[in-house]
């Protein structure tokens, strides 16, 4: 019998292509007519948000490897250049499928339900007057139109900020054309509801409203053409273990560099003229495959607003009430309940409140001597973080805050500093690894003097907000083999105590 060689590339999927296959499965949910219509819109927005992160982290990393001459093949036998070539084709195909879903399926279905996205030019007089007033009062005061010329360099375009480019001709200098750029304000919703006396729900895109008001922005110019665009930058954090600074300061400084990362993708409206596309490609130093001409609205993640804000509950998943844990007759608190046996919770169908209650009860219980916990992502005003801060006043509290939780780094830095100021012993994970486990370990002195350990193991995050809509599992246990394993993990995270 032939021996299997585990280093044979034929046994391995490419990790990036596997991720793209995952995102296609999310897109299938948007295409599935069995799902409520506005939930399908949300699934489409999720695919766009997912793809953003994929491009600004994974594609960006592959580009850097290629630029640095890295030719080392992965387990699948593909070099970085080969992976990039295959992924470029796959991403373009995926984007085409996204816009087919939007243009051919979702837009017509929304229109049949009386939900429309209109062009400003198609509005009736009353609606156009209302939108003009909205622009004058709410939008124009915070716009900064820029014309690119020798005294006005190209503005720094923030990562994933929606912008509008204009091809301009100065009326006093016939024959000379310029490029103008306006950043669409991030603080204003990308979709604006149009007032209507009927039951119809009509929206316009904010960038369309800005484009129709170029006469106010560029007086003295003739607008030849315009196009919305969006640049995605390299958002990887480059951390080196030999750095002498502590990890928190290192991540903090890298976050500032992220804002100025190289552009790795340009999304621009499909009908944009070459007079706009070419200067942008030169400015961002892009290869042709990095340009995505969209036959529809640039940045489909804007559709989250449409799904969330449209007042049509009949087109959304029906709400439900999570089941709360109830104690058995022999238990008067969560610790006694856990001693009766393990508790397995399936969120969001089982309420996450049991997990929050465990940490809060531990903070208040004088018999709990110590609390150890990992934090990967959590919510603003987190009840769990508040409980940990409260607990630090009377017991040993150790928290491992993973600073490398993608795009939650700044939030986690704030939490780490708040916890340290409260007296919590905070560790920042390990440079070469990402602490993705969700663990809590409590040491409690029982009435007989014995110290018993209690643990929570979860697949989600310690985030009571997202626990309402993500499917996850929680295990509450005081089984000695389980708690000793959790104890060993914490020893590794704080002391690199290897086993």
Residue 255: pLDDT over 70: no
How confident is the model over 162-203, as pLDDT tens digits? 999 999 998 877 778 899 999 999 889 999 999 887 778 999
Place of tokens 């994970």: 429
How confident is the model over 395-426, as pLDDT tens digits? 999 988 877 656 556 666 676 777 878 888 88
Task: List the Cα angle 278/93/181 in 5-degree steps.
Answer: 30
CA atoms within 13 A on the CB side of 216: 13
Compute the distance between CA of residue 347 and CA of residue 345 in angstroms, rounded to an integer. 6
Please write down the HEC assignment for all residues of 154-192.
Answer: CCCCCCCCEEEEEEEEECCCCCCEEEEEEECCCCCCCEE
Q: How confident is the model at residue 239 (pLDDT cuts 50, 70, 90)?
A: very low
Beta strands in 60-156 (DSSP E): 115-118, 146-148
Structure tokens at 74: 């992965």
DSSP-H helix ranges across 32-58: 37-53
Summary mean pLDDT of the chain = 88
Residue 38: pLDDT over 50: yes
Query: Which pTM does this prediction carry?
Result: 0.85
Look at residue 258 in the predicted model and tell me its pLDDT. 45
Q: Are the C-beta atoms of residues 260 and 190 closer than 8 Å to each other?
A: no
Task: Please report the domains of the chain, with CATH numbers, ordered by start residue.
Answer: 9-238+261-315 (3.30.1840.10), 334-495 (3.30.870.10)
Which residues are the active-site residues? 436
Look at residue 447 in the predicted model and tell me its pLDDT. 87
């Amino acid at each position: 019998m032939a021996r299997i060689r585990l280093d044979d590339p034929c046994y391995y999927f490419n990790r990036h292509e596997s991720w793209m296959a995952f995102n296609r499965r999310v897109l299938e949910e948007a295409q599935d007519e069995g799902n409520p219509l506005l939930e399908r819109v949300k699934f489409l927005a999720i695919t766009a948000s997912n793809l953003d992160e994929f491009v600004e982290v994974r594609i960006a990393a592959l580009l850097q490897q290629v630029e640095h001459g890295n030719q080392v093949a992965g387990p699948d036998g593909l070099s970085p250049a080969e992976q990039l070539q295959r992924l470029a084709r796959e991403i373009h195909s995926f984007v085409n499928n996204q816009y087919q879903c939007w243009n051919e399926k979702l837009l017509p279905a929304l229109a049949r339900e009386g939900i429309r996205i209109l062009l400003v030019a198609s509005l009736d007089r009353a609606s156009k007057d209302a939108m003009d007033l909205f622009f004058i009062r709410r939008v124009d005061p915070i716009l900064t139109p820029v014309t690119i010329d020798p005294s006005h360099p190209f503005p720094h375009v923030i990562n994933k900020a929606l912008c509008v480019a204009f091809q301009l001709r100065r009326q006093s200098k016939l024959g000379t054309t310029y490029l103008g750029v306006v950043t669409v304000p991030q603080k204003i919703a990308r979709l604006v509801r149009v007032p209507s006396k009927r039951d119809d729900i009509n929206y316009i895109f904010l960038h369309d409203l800005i484009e129709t008001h170029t006469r106010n922005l560029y007086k003295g110019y003739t607008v030849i053409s315009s196009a919305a665009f969006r640049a995605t930058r390299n958002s990887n954090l480059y951390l080196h273990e030999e750095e002498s600074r502590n990890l928190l300061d290192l991540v903090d400084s890298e976050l500032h560099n992220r804002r100025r990362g190289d552009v790795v993708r340009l999304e621009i409206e499909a009908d944009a003229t070459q007079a706009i596309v070419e200067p942008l490609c030169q400015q961002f130093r892009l290869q042709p495959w990095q340009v995505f001409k969209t036959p529809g609205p640039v940045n489909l993640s804007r559709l989250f607003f449409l799904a969330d804000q449209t007042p049509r509950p009949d087109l959304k998943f029906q709400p439900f009430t999570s089941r709360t844990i109830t104690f058995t007759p022999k238990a008067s608190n969560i610790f006694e309940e856990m001693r009766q046996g393990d508790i397995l919770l399936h969120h969001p169908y089982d309420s996450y409140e049991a997990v929050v209650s465990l940490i809060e009860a531990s903070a208040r219980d004088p018999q709990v001597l110590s609390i150890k916990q990992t934090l990967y992502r959590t919510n603003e005003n987190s009840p769990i973080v508040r409980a940990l801060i409260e607990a630090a006043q009377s017991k040993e509290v150790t928290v491992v805050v993973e600073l490398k939780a993608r795009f939650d780094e700044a939030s986690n830095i704030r939490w780490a500093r708040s916890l340290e100021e409260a007296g919590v012993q905070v560790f920042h994970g390990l440079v070469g690894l990402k602490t993705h486990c969700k663990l809590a370990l409590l040491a409690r002195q029982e009435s007989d003097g014995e110290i018993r350990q209690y643990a929570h193991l979860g697949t989600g995050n310690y985030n009571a907000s997202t626990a309402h809509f993500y499917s996850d599992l929680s295990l509450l246990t005081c089984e000695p083999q389980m708690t000793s394993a959790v104890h060993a993990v914490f020893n590794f995270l704080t002391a690199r105590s290897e086993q």
